[in-house]
Structure 1
Amino acid sequence: MDALSDIRFEVFSTCPQSSAVPAADYVERVQSVARWSEEAGCKGILVYTENSLVDPWLVSQVILQSTRELCPLVAVQPVYMHPYSVAKMVSSLAQMYGRRLYLNMVAGGYTTELAALGDATAHDKRYERLVEYTGIIKLLLENAEPVTFEGEYDSVRNLRMTPPLPQELLPGVFVSGSSEAGLAAAKALGATPVKYPKPAAEYVQADAADCTGSGIRVGIIARASAEEAWQVAHTRFPTDKKGQLAHKLAMKVSDSAWHKQMSDLAAETAAQDTPYWLVPFENYKTFCPYLVGDYGVVSDELARYAAAGYGTFILDIPPTREELVHTGEVFGQALTKARRLKSFALRDPARQGLIG
């Protein structure tokens, strides 16, 4: 196979949160964002799960009804339901819509929310549970015969999945988490680990072994000029004292490794002249870093991520259809640049330590 053909992007957008949209408008907003995402060429769309949000499976059905090919990436928290219920949802929606789903397996969350559900499981133990839980889901969906599994957290005996799931519709599995326990869980499951990236300039060729096959969460604001992009960025995400206090509170009630890692990065990158921007995260407006700048600068960053090995990108919630058009322009340029970087590295192995 041509080594350059290995470089490709699989892009997911993110569904609006019910807590941020008036109830009377929410279904219509989900439908709109899903259609924009499909028009823009996204593979799928992430649907959050949290105590404060409406059920992600019901939202996913709205997405399936409103689009032709877009694949919901459904966040799944083991404490919410038995693994059989997850497998049943996947097989039922596949039967009804003939669509593949993706599962974003989540072990963490705010400790206060987990405590409210009676779950006091320690951080690393939650990932052990996640491996067992996801393993049962996969066994049920992959096997036509009854499944028996005796685990530490869940057990099934002679359980058959009906309706059976066509093999071509087996779900893609992502594991959300940047900690050692999260990465180990993804490896054990053969799943795609989803990380929160560092600035692209910090990646070197030696990182490729850890990055290849992984995904990242990142927001993008790009325009033809950097001035316009930053104007849009500051208008959309102004500094907010209330948001900063909420961020500090969230830090106290979250034991997620990514939360601390991003907070540390925010302090390190605040004074740097870089498209990598964490002000929205620090003001509790979103939960991923942003890349801001003109098309050339932002596509350079994405190309460096691709050269480091990342191939899956989960974008933030798009505010408009137009925003996804700008994002599509950036990814088009980034793919060309990433292949050029790869070609250069193949021609000059002695300089493979340089990404960009």
Structure 2
Amino acid sequence: MRVVLTSWGSRGDIEPLAALAAELRARGARVVVCAPPDEDFVALLDRVGVPLVPLGPTVKSIVANPKPPTGQDAFKLAPALVEARFETLAAVAAEGCDAVLATGLMPAGARDVAEKLGVPYVLACFHVMGLPSRHFRPGRRPGTPSPADETDYEVLWKQDAERVDALYGAAVNRGRAALGLPPVDGVRDHVFTQRPWLAADPVLCPSAGMTELDPVQTGAWILPDTRPLPADLRAFLDGGEPPVYVGFGSMAAYAPEGVARAAVEAARAHGRRVVLGSGWAGLGAVDDGDDCFVVGEVNQQALFRRSAVVVHHGGAGTTTTAARAGAPQVVVPLIADQPYWASRIAELGVGVAHPGPAPTVASLTAALAAALDPGVRARAEAVAATVRTDGAAVAAGLLLDLAGRPRP
């Protein structure tokens, strides 16, 4: 059995695929992952013994710039990624393929290659916010914006589909024509299918009634991390009360200016030390104080269990890791699904949704005061006990079942 997994996106898109790949390999399947060739992602897949087949440009080359990508950049990147998927996935799948699973930034092209081969295709997502719904409006997408006074969700989601067609439609249908397939109308719904998989914890991200589609919720795909913390970090942790962790992951161009200094000063206001996760945002020490420790790539599962509060951007993976560790959270949402995770953490009472993407010393001091309340810690620990850890195993079983079914 040979399975092709593909994604183009940040660490939060690639690490779940590594978790799924590990589960598939444990069940005897051969796995290939087609993903952006960032060094971090190659190393991540090396940990589970799965090769990375390069797909498109590195993500860091797109997002790790002084300014966020523009709409014009998006209209260049979208068709380029579609063409890369047709070319790369067709070449990989030509060597034998029993199923294709795609995730990440609108993976247009993956379903079409699977269709040509006559093998099952699955679209997986890590939250519900991108799926058509009667309960919330679509997120921002490059292209013609909806009128500011439009409030009808059905109309707004129709306009979202039109923006997807403008970004991806021509490239998808060129690729389909090259494969001898008829054109498709409505790229977004074609990519999503009626039954996407939702790789998110049901307590953190309930799906019942939230979307017009019928998602299969597997639970989050969590890659176990047994790496020991570096000796110098362990010494820092052992040298006092649990610190406040601050990190913004892959949010290089979006991380608020001066956030490291604001976070350090806010933590000091509460007598707390700080661990700064440098990440792609390049957070670093703000002075020579011995109450601040900077880390790069590290086992967050272990580190968060030793943190008083986790301050982060609200990516699905970081939110789930912190929740599983029982650590109170302060979420500073910047883009995409992050406002959802911020609001969800607040609703569950396991942390604080920071008001807006530009924290100050005062705003972070207030947020930390709330997050450090013993009642929040107690609720965070209670929720941690409910977070499922078998999501990748569930998904692996479902995918292999699909792949093993007789084909027309």
TM-score (norm 2): 0.31
Bigger Cα Rg:
2
TM-score (norm 1): 0.34
Higher relative contact order (CA 8 A, sep 6+): 1
